[in-house]
Amino acid sequence: MAIRYISTRGQAPALNFEEVLLAGLASDGGLYVPEQLPTFSEAKIRSFRSLSYPELAFQILEPFVEGSVSADDLKAIIDDTYAQFRHPAVAPLIQLDDNQWVLELFHGPTLAFKDFALQLLGRLLDHVLQRRQQKVVIMGATSGDTGSAAIEGCKRCSNIDIFILYPNGRVSDVQRRQMTTVQGETIHNLAIEGDFDDCQAMVKASFVAEPFLPDGRQLAAVNSINWARIMAQIVYYFYAALLLGAPDRAINFSVPTGNFGDIFAGYLARCMGLPIDQLVIATNKNDVLHRILTSGEYARQQLEKSLSPSMDITVSSNFERLMFDLYDRDAAAIDHLMRDFTAGAIQLSEGAMKQARSLFSSHCVSDDDTAAEIAEVWSRCGYLLDPHSAIGTRAAKACRREASQPMVTLATAHPAKFPEAVLRSGVGTQPELPPHLADLFDREERFVVLPNDLARVQEHMASRLKA
Ligand SMILES: *Cc1c(COP(=O)(O)O)cnc(C)c1O
């Protein structure tokens, strides 16, 4: 039976996989989740042990796409997706000490874990669009990693034009060049004279505004609320746990997180039968998630720039997906809470918080401690962490309950992407970009600078689309 996807706010129609892939956000403002999760028995999970990463991905993802993508097509798409990764293991597991491990998720084209989902998402979208004889326009805002991962994921998709808005002069040189040096008729980089919030506001407004694209072309979203991204991230939890002895042994994970997308995938892996004991939410000083876990209050705070910019957020969008389960899938309750949240802070119920705390631990790591952690792991193991991953290993140490169980930290980015943090740690070495990006600073850049003006941006987009 094909899985149906339902909205956390209960007012939008249920969709199949193909529809949810194209929809992004639900029409009632909610997020789509599977009506029912596939589950795997212990014996079934044991049978996954000898599978390669793409083979495992096929086993885990097939139930989610059934009815929309055939098994053969899915296999081909997955093989092509993970062939883009530059390590034969795709997600190699590295040992730091007796029972601490790092799962390297940065061997994709843009050196951050977002490639796992966006390489797959681009291919799945293009496949579905090809069959429907349809073209879409992806519009997204980025403060760094998402833009380049989305562009890399869509650059060979003939049915997708992609427009990425970023704040002019406010993304790092590496991050900007990873977007602007990708050449292609369908790739459009828009440097907006404003900040990230201005970019995001224009994207949001465009999704609800009157159609402005020629030929009735529709907009599609690739931000982390797209279900397909979450789905792709479930796989590596299984992959790491199997290498460490699951399902015959419980495994723990520590996840540097901002939007709650990555760690929510870990929660789903656990719901699907993977024996995960602890899931550690690791945050930087933008600690909205840590504050929820400790106080039960979900409240925005002023954004603060940190050494781990990809986790600098004030609202954790995917947390709504967990809330839906914490409230026993009572969509009316979530609708009510999220309406209140647009106006201000909300307080989660005792019952919801009790459950949340039984599922997750959390820890907030300052910039000083992030730098200290990079230095400490470097001096103890000769291993260089990026600042996001360092938040993960630091939180893992602070939160772990059972030293005899393996603790796996997800390493979400390559250290060469964040030289500033490495410099601040004082390790005295600078990580180099891997060979495929070694000439990044010699490549030609392509972007246009536009004012912070919605009408001008939309005009530009319409004019750039070929018939
Ligand atoms: C996006 C990102 C994160 C946070 O991921 P979430 O899905 O928001 O939890 C962490 N680290 C890096 C390097 C990222 O690019």
Per-residue model confidence (pLDDT) at position 466: 62
Amino acid 143: pLDDT: 82
Interval 303-327 mean pLDDT: 93
Taking the C-alpha atoms of residue 212 and residue 462, their distance in angstroms, rounded to an integer, is 7
**Looking at the domain covering 90-109+227-425, what would its CATH class be?**
alpha beta
Global pTM value: 0.96
Hey, whose CA ends up nearest to atom 2 of ligand 1?
310
Say which residue, 222 or 393, is predicted with more confidence.
393
Contacts of 95 (CB under 8 A, 6+ apart): 101
Instruction: Please give the distance, rounded to the nearest whole angstrom, from the Cα atom of residue 262 to the centre of ligand 1.
Output: 7
Report which protein residue has its CA nearest ligand 1's atom 1.
310
Which protein residue's CA is at the shortest distance from atom 4 of ligand 1?
A: 257
- Per-residue pLDDT of 349-396, as tens digits, reads 999 999 999 999 999 999 999 999 999 999 999 999 999 999 999 999
Q: What is the pLDDT of residue 80?
A: 98
State the distance from the centre of ligand 1 to the C-alpha of 463, rounded, in angstroms: 33
Beta strand segments in 115-169, E = 136-141, 160-167
pLDDT of the residue at 1: 81
Q: Which atom of ligand 1 is nearest to the CA of 313?
A: 8
Residues with CB under 6 A from ligand 1: 112, 114, 145, 224, 256-262, 310-311, 388, 412-413
pLDDT at residue 121, rounded to an integer: 97
Residue pLDDT, tens place only, 48-96 = 999 999 999 999 999 999 999 999 999 999 999 999 999 999 999 999 9
Quick one: which of 93, 175, 109, 111 has its CA closest to 383? 93
With cut-offs at 50, 70 and 90, classify the pLDDT of residue 24.
Answer: confident
Contacts with 356 (C-beta within 8 Å, 6 or more apart), sequence order: 292, 293, 322, 326, 348
Q: Which ligand 1 atom is the nearest neighbour of the CA of 224?
A: 7
Nearest CA residue ID for atom 11, ligand 1:
412
Nearest ligand 1 atom to the CA of 258 is 8
What integer pLDDT is reported at residue 467 of this predicted model?
Answer: 56
- Out of 121, 233, 262, 322, mutate this one to test ligand 1's pocket (max ligand atoms within 8 Å of CB): namely 262
pLDDT score at 232: 98
Q: What is the pLDDT of residue 222?
A: 84
291 closest CA partner among 316, 312, 309: 316
Map tokens 């796409």 to a residue. 65
Structural domain boundaries of the chain? 90-109+227-425
What pLDDT, on a 0 to 100 scale, did the predictor assign at position 215? 86
For 419, what's the count of Cα atoms within 13 Å in the CB-facing half-sphere? 10
Catalytic residue IDs: 114
Helix (H, G, I), strand (E, B) or coil at 169: coil
pLDDT at residue 223 is higher than 90:
no
The arithmetic mean of pLDDT across residues 326-354, rounded, is: 97
> Can you tell me the distance from the alpha carbon of 20 to that of 35, in angstroms, rounded to the nearest whole number?
12
